[in-house]
Amino acid sequence: MSNTKYNPYENAQAQFDKVASILNLDEATRELLRQPMREYHVTIPVHMDDGSVKVFKAYRIQHNDARGPAKGGIRFHPQETIDTIRALSMWMTWKCAVVDIPLGGGKGGVICDTHNLSPREQEQICRGYVRQLASNIGPNNDVPAPDVMTNAQHMLWMLDEYETIHGGRYPGFITGKPVGMGGSLGRTEATGFGVVYVLNEALKELGIDIESTSASFQGFGNVAQYAVRLYLQLGGKVTAISCWDNKDKKSYTFRNVNGMDIDSLLSITDSFGTIDKDKAKALGYEILPGEAWIEQDVDILVPAALENQITAENVNKISKQVKVITEAANGPTTPDADKVINDRGIFVLPDFLTNAGGVTCSYFEQVQCNMNYFWQKDEVLEKLNTKMTSAFKAVYEMAQSRKLTMRDAAYVISINRVAEAVKRRGWV
């Protein structure tokens, strides 16, 4: 999650402080927005399949809800940290604000490894999480969603537990639910497709034909898989993908300089995004070290894994051919690496703009649940494309007019919107 040198929460605060100075925010507003408003630390006892009882640590952080209920995923990960969750909750606030949806920022996490848990044990963790937080989360104050190593089934268990506790039907309590159980069509594709919607608009502004571009991806989970699919559909070429190998406990980069086929890759990929090395070799792929993804001679780099992946230690390995970095992951670039990238003139599409497709579609799911009327997939994806494209154009115009980086411009828009909300409410 985080390494020993870089702290994602400190990174998130440093990014905020920089833009707070640009906006000349008063001291009280700065103090309010640079830290979470509420934190919940809980423990979840679970009766394991072997008869033992194991206690899992869990968190829910609500950064800010001035613009609407807190919104953010719940991740299961063995190296989860409280500072990671704090950072992610902040980024969720800015993410919802930059795409201008009426939600605030939150995030949750449980320290566990789903690879080593049975479905029954995972269900007990989900239900225990809700039992511990049932009075602090809900459709009107904090709406969870899936994240790393959680899925639609986990969300449905949580919904069922919440409805059992509160004695009613509350489909808007949680998003990312299965279709047919209050979930939205298009939600599975939303984050990955949103990444490419933004990338495509950026390439148009830069005068680059997407059909002439090549890309290297880090990560091959849900977001990357759908981003790769749409990018290929639009004519791009993917030459390298890095992914975690759960058996070997390290990552590998799979490369084919002639281009990769998404369907053949998915046929040899497990549910956690691990590509089978032997089968990949048989299909003609080179197997390289995990970090090789960043060294590829491509036009576009897409970090789509975890935080702090482009750092001062590896930023100079980025090829001179790279023109665009599309941040599909949350917080993949450290501030010191960001400076090097900007000095080199590489166009960066910042994370909380680029990967906002998921939360945008989650908002659509809420709206549909509230109406008890569900849209067709084409309608959902069309609305998503409109929202993401509009957000990109606003950020790009801000960057051009004020001579800011895309990241700073996105922050200026989002932080200004949240600061305005807290002032109008009379909080500061």
Active site residues: 107
121: left (phi over 0), alpha (psi -120 to 50) or beta: alpha
Q: Count CB atoms within 10 A of the CB of residue 413.
A: 22
Which of 427, 423, 398 is CA-nearest to residue 410?
A: 398
Which of 92, 95, 91 is CA-nearest to residue 13?
A: 91
Bridge-based pairing state of the strands 142-146 and 70-76 = parallel
- Residues 365, 42: Cα–Cα separation, whole Å: 28
* 263-274 as b/e: b if 16+ CB within 10 A: eebeebbeeebb
- Which residue, chain included where needed, has tokens 């989650």? 362
Q: What single-letter amino acid sits at 143?
A: V
Collect all residues with Cβ–Cβ distance below 8 Å to 142 and sequence separation of at least 6.
60, 62, 65, 69, 70, 71, 106, 136
- Which residue, chain included where needed, has tokens 């993401």? 388
Radius of gyration of the chain (CA): 21
- Any alpha helices (H) in 7-49, and if so which ranges? 8-22, 27-33
- Residues 125, 208: Cα–Cα separation, whole Å: 47
Nearest-5° angle of CA 99, CA 105, CA 110? 130
Q: What single-letter amino acid sits at 336?
A: D
**φ, ψ dihedrals at 112, nearest 5°:** -165, 165
Q: What single-letter amino acid sits at 112?
A: C
- Whether the Cβ atoms of residue 250 and residue 263 lie closer than 8 Å to each other: no
